[in-house]
Amino acid sequence: MTQILKIALDIPLDTLFDYRAEEVSTEDVGRRVLVSFGRRKMVGLIVSLANLSDLPAASIKPVLKIFRDTPALAPDILKLLQFCANYYHHPLGEVIFTALPQRLRSDQAAAFPQQISYVLNKAAPHLDDLPLRAVVKRKLLTHLCQDSGIAREALLALSPSASKHIREMLTTGWITQQQENRPKLLAPPVSGPLPQLPALNAEQAAVIDGCSPAGFSATLLLGITGSGKTEVYLRLTAIQLEQGRQVLVLVPEINLTPQLEARFQSRFPDVPVVSLHSSLNDSERLRHWLLAQSGEARIVLGTRLSVFTPMPELGLIIVDEEHDSSFKQQDGLRYSARDMAAARAKQLNIPILMGSATPALESYHNALAGRYRLQRLSRRAVEEAQLPSIRCVDMRNEKPDDGLSATLLQALEKNLEHGSQSLVFINRRGYAPVLLCNQCGWLAPCPRCTSRLVVHLRERRLRCHHCGHEERIPRACPGCGNPDLAPLGQGTQRLEDALAQHFPAARILRIDRDSTRRKHALREMLQDVHEERVDILVGTQILAKGHDFKRLTLVGALNVDGALYSADFRAAERLFAQLMQVAGRAGRAAEPGTVLIQTQFPDHPLFDALRHQDYDAFATTQLVERKQAGFPPFCHQALLRAEATHLETALAFLHQAKKMALPIPAAITLYDAVPAPMARLAGRERAQLLVQADERRDLQQFLRHWNANLNNLKARQVRWSLDVDPLDF
C-alpha cells in the first residue's frame, strides 16, 4: 500500500515535503530517507505518515531509500525538536539536522563505525621489568593486563602522550591492533552494587532528599564555589543508576568535560560513560551518540547540543554552571540548551537539577516565584576549607607597573615565598588590546569589523578576536609615518612578560585560547598545575570555573571595570558571576585563600556584595533595577537581526519588517530599527529590531504570525534571523 511520508529537509523553509513509499509503517517515523529534491539528492527525516496529500498524486515523488541501519529517532525527541522549532521560530528541518551527528546528515553508512582496540601479546614485558620512569607505558600495560581488547579511546584518555607509546608498542610487538564493527564500551554494563559513596554533609544530604521525588521537578542548586555540587550530582546519578535509568549531564565548556568525565568514571567504574562535544571527530561523536540512543551508555556528559541526544531510559538531567552564556547558541538555531533541558524534563516527567554559584537572574527569579525549587549549599565541602578573603585594590591611589599594583606584586612575592600557587586573571588574551600611534592618535582598526586589532607581539601579528582577521604589525603608522608605535593596555602575553621580569625565578604558565590551540595542550597544562610544576598562572576565563587547584591560595583580577559602565544591562551580572567564579579557585583546601581585585570603583555595590560573597544581595538589587527598567526577567524579548553589505540595506529590510507587523497588538512593544552595537562584523553591516512583551504567551503569538509574514518578504541581499530570548545585543 502506498503511503504519504511527511519529510523534513535541511533547508531554510518552514514546511514538510510530501513523498510516497511502499511498505512503510509507524516504526519508520523518525528514520532518515534519501529523496530527490530538485536536481539533487538529499537526506531527510520522516516526521509523520499520512494517507492523503494536498498535492496531485502525479507530482509526489517516491523516496529513493529508507535508512534502516540505525534506530529511528524516538517520539519524545521528535516532540522536543518540534517544540524547539516552534518556540524559536526556526524551520523544523534545520532544527532536526542540527541535532543529528554529522555522519547522520549525509547518505553515508550510519552503523557503528569500526572501533580500534588492542590486545596484549606474549612478547610484552612484565611490569616489574619496566623502569620506574616509564610511567605512561606502565599505565598502558596495567590496563591491558586487566582488560585485553581495550578500546583505543580508553587508552588515549590515560595520558596526552599515550598515542606515541601505543605506536611504539605496536612496532615492538607488545600489542596487536584489532578492529570491531560493534564498539566495546569503555566500561561493562552495571553489575552488582555501586561503589560506596563518601559521606555527605547536612546541606548536601538535604539537597539529595529534596531532589529525589519521582516526576517532574525543576531544582535550582545555589551552591558557593567548592561547596560540593559535583558530589551532589554524583549521588543523584547513583540513585538513578540503581533504578536502571540514564543520566544526562550538561556542561558549558568543552575543557570542563574531560575532568568531569574522569570524576564520573572514577565514581562509577562499572558504568558506561560517554561524552559528546565538538572536540570529537565525526566517527567518535556518532559512536557515542548511538551508544546513548541504544541505552548502552548510562551516563552522557556533553556540551550544548547534547540536550537533544536520544536516551530511551533518561531519568535525570543535570545542568552544571547553568548561568553560563555558552548554553545559548549565537548563530543558526539560536536555542538555549538550559531552557530546552527544562522543556525535555517536563515532557518526560523527570527531575532536572540546575547548579551554579551565581545563577542566571532569570533562574533565580523563577526560584523566588516558586516555579523552581531552591536548594542551597552555603559552606565548602572540605571542612578545613574557608571562603577566600576578597579585597579591592583602590587603583586611584596606586601607580601600576605593567598593570600590576604594588599591593598585588607584594602578595605574589609573599605567596611565592610560602610555596603556594597564584592566579592572575585578565579576560584579554594577546599582548595588548590596541596598537597606538602617539603622534597622530591612529589605532590599528580591523578592516572587517568595528573593532580594534589586538597585538600579538611574539607572533608579530595583529589579530581581530571577533572575525579572525590578522595581519603583520606595521613598521610605521600608516597615517603619519611615525615608526614609534606603542602597544596600549594589557593582555595575557604582556602580563606574562611583566611577571617574568618581576619574578625571574618563578615558574609562570599562561593559559588562554592562544596557548591551548594544540590538541591536549590544556590537559597537559592543567596536569602541570595539579602536580605543582607551576607557581603563577596567567589566564582568561578558561580558568575561571570548574577547576580545583589544591595549592592555589591567591587570585588577582585585573581590568574588571569596563563592565560597570557598559550599555549592556547584563554586564554587571556577567562580571559578578565571573569574579565569583575566579575567586572560587582560591583556598579550596586547608590553606586560606585571598582575592585581590584591582578597580577604580572600590565602593561600587557590586564589589561590596562580592566582598561579602552575598549573591542574594547582589541579585536582589539587580532584580529591583531590572523591574524598574522593564528588563528581563520582568519582560520577554526577541530580536530581529539583519545583515547586509551596506547598513542602509539592512535597516531598510527592518523598516519593511516593522510595517509588516502592523497593526501592532497592545501587548507588544516594537522598537525602531537601529545599527547593532558592533555594526560591522566580518565584512557585513548589521542592524537589529527589538520586540518586547510582558507575557511570554503574547510574544510567542505575535512572533508566530510575524515570522510567517517575514518568510514571504523578499530579502535577496539581506541575511536575517529571529533570536528569541537574546543574551547579546
For residue 105, the 8-state DSSP code is G
- The answer to whether residue 209 scores a pLDDT higher than 60 is yes
- Phi, psi at 184, each rounded to 5°: -85, 125
Which pLDDT score is estimated for 197?
65
The identity of residue 392, as a single letter, is C
Predicted local distance difference test score (pLDDT) of residue 239: 92
Task: Please state, for a pLDDT cut of 70, what percent of the chain lies above it.
Answer: 94
Contact 458, 493 (CB under 8 A): yes
Residue 482 CB coordination number (10 Å): 14
Of 321 and 584, the one with more pLDDT: 321
Tens-place pLDDT, residues 120-130? 888 888 877 78
pLDDT reading at 190 higher than 60: no
Of residues 559, 397, 578, the one with CA closest to residue 492: 559
**Residue 325 in grid coordinates:** 552564556
Distance of CA 470 to the CA centre of its chain: 26
DSSP label of 191: -
How far is 497 from 517, CA to CA, in rounded Å?
20
Count of Cβ atoms closer than 10 Å to residue 350 Cβ: 19
The residues with which 670 forms a beta bridge, in sequence order, are 691
pLDDT at 188: 40
Cα 603-609-612 angle, rounded to 5 deg: 110
Render 587-630 in DSSP notation, one character per residue.
S-SSS--EEEEEES-TT-HHHHHHHTT-HHHHHHHHHHHHHHHT
Q: What is the DSSP secondary-structure string of 465-492?
A: TTT--EEEPPSS-TTT--S-EEEES--H
Residue 629 has pLDDT above 70, yes or no: yes
Q: What contacts 104, CB < 8 A, 6 or more positions away?
A: 32, 43, 70, 110, 286, 289
Question: DSSP label at 200?
Answer: P
pLDDT in tens, 688-722: 999 999 999 999 999 999 999 998 888 788 999 99
Over range 190-204, report the average pLDDT. 66
Q: What percent of the chain has pLDDT over 90?
A: 59
> Would you state the pLDDT for residue 253?
84
State the amino acid at position 622 in one-letter form: Q
Sheet strands (E) in 77-185: 115-120, 150-151, 175-180
Confidence of residue 365 (pLDDT cuts 50, 70, 90): very high
Residues 6 or more apart in contact with residue 118 via CB below 8 angstroms: 144, 149, 150, 152, 155, 166, 175, 176, 177, 178
User: Does the pTM exceed 0.75?
Assistant: yes
Q: Pairing mode, if any, of strands 461-463 and 454-456?
A: antiparallel
Q: What is the average per-residue pLDDT within 114-143?
A: 80
Vertex 705: Cα angle to 702 and 707 (nearest 5):
100
pLDDT over 80 (residue 286): yes
Q: Could you read off the pLDDT of 29-84 as tens digits, one per residue?
A: 999 999 999 899 999 999 999 988 989 988 999 999 999 888 899 999 999 999 99
Query: Please, what's the b/e burial string for 185-206 (b: 16 or more CB within 10 A of its CB; e: otherwise)?
Result: bbbeeeeeebeeeeebeebbee
Query: What confidence tens digit (pLDDT) does each residue in 502-524 have?
Result: 999 999 999 888 888 776 788 78
Buried b vs exposed e over 309-324: b needs ≥16 C-beta within 10 Å? Answer: bbbeebbbbbbbbbbb
Whether pLDDT at 186 is above 70:
no
User: What is the C-alpha separation between 256 and 722, in angstroms, rounded?
Assistant: 30
